[in-house]
């Protein structure tokens, strides 16, 4: 009895440690911790939960093929409900998008957009992933269109981090060399939504626009954005900032 209780307690202590590592952005340690949890005695719901966390860590570590393998295995489980199936299919196709099967992911998210039964939140993210695909393909007109739709939905839903989607919309302006339009959009946005959450990306993007225009304070704004992204542990935004800085140097 005591041994069983101790094992159960240790199991949840391990989970707590793993979640802590993940929240800190330490996905290597989180992955090791999740993989060390003995799941055979867990309920089906908890097994699925741990397996999804393992797959997610692999994705964040950019081990896309391994993450894809894990998400495919999850899809084969009979215990999944409809909502879980849909969420895991999304995750699998996100792996495709950032791995080497971008076209497949694009077709999947386009089909989701066409479906009438998906809600606006799903549609917002689907447009965003389509925008990501077009950006990878250097088709910036289509990228602009998809990001614009994604941002417009986030605006209508008034989600907390709509500035994140707005920032991607601005990135399309940068690639299309429409800086005056971008600055006009920024001015309107900042008047309407002061201190909105973008995980640093809005300041990063604004800094790059100012950099291209050779404004002296561009680096100050850019660095503020990078610091915000670091505090939010949003490495993707830092990577975007460094990529834009390099491309528009």
Q: Which of 59, 57, 55 has its CA nearest to residue 72?
A: 55
In a 13 Å sphere around the CA of 195, the CA atoms on its Cβ side amount to 0
Say whether pTM exceeds 0.85: yes
SS3 of 155, please?
Answer: helix
Residue 6 has what pLDDT? 28
Question: With contact defined as beta carbons under 8 Å apart, do 24 and 16 qualify?
Answer: no
Alpha-carbon distance 103 to 101, whole Å?
A: 6
Those residues with Cβ within 8 angstroms of residue 127's Cβ, 6 or more apart along the chain or in another chain:
109, 113, 146, 147, 149, 150, 153
Going by the DSSP 8-state scheme, the letter that residue 161 receives in this structure is T
d(CA 201, CA 196): 11
Tell me which DSSP letter residue 159 carries.
-
Predicted local distance difference test score (pLDDT) of residue 4? 32
Name the residue with tokens 């993940």: 22
Low-confidence ranges of the chain (pLDDT < 70): 1-13
Distances (CA, A) of 5 to 8, 11, 16, 18, 209: 5, 10, 17, 20, 58
pLDDT for position 13: 54
What is the structure's pLDDT at 11?
52
Which pLDDT score, from 0 to 100, does residue 142 have? Answer: 98
SS3 content of the chain, % helix, strand, coil (to 5): 75, 0, 25
pLDDT for res 136: 96
Range list of β-strands (E), the chain? none
Provide the pLDDT for residue 7.
35
pLDDT in tens, 175-201: 999 999 999 999 999 988 877 788 999
The residue with tokens 């440690």 is 17
- Of 242, 162, 231, which is closest to residue 202 (Cα–Cα)? 162
């Amino acid at each position: 009895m005591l041994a069983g209780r101790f094992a159960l307690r240790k199991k949840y202590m391990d989970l707590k440690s793993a979640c802590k590592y993940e929240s800190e952005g330490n996905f290597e340690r989180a992955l090791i911790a999740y993989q060390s949890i003995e799941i055979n005695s867990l309920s089906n719901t908890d097994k699925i939960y741990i397996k999804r966390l393992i797959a997610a860590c692999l994705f964040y570590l950019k081990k896309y093929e391994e993450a894809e393998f894990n998400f495919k295995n999850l899809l084969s489980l009979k215990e999944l409900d409809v909502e879980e199936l849909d969420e895991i299919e999304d995750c699998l196709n996100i792996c495709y998008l950032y791995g080497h099967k971008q076209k497949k992911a694009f077709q999947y998210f386009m089909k989701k957009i066409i479906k009438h039964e998906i809600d606006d939140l799903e549609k917002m993210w689907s447009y965003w992933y389509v925008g990501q695909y077009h950006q990878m393909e250097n088709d910036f007109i289509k990228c602009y269109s998809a990001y614009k739709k994604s941002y417009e939905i986030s605006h209508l839903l008034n989600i907390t981090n709509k500035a994140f989607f707005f920032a991607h919309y601005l990135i399309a302006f940068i690639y299309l060399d429409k800086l005056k339009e971008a600055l006009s959009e920024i001015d309107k946005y900042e008047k309407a939504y002061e201190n909105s959450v973008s995980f640093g990306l809005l300041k990063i993007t604004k800094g790059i626009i100012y950099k291209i225009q050779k404004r002296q304070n561009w680096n100050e704004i850019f660095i503020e954005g990078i610091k915000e992204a670091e505090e939010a542990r949003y490495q993707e935004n830092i990577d975007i900032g460094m990529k834009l800085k390099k491309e528009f140097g």
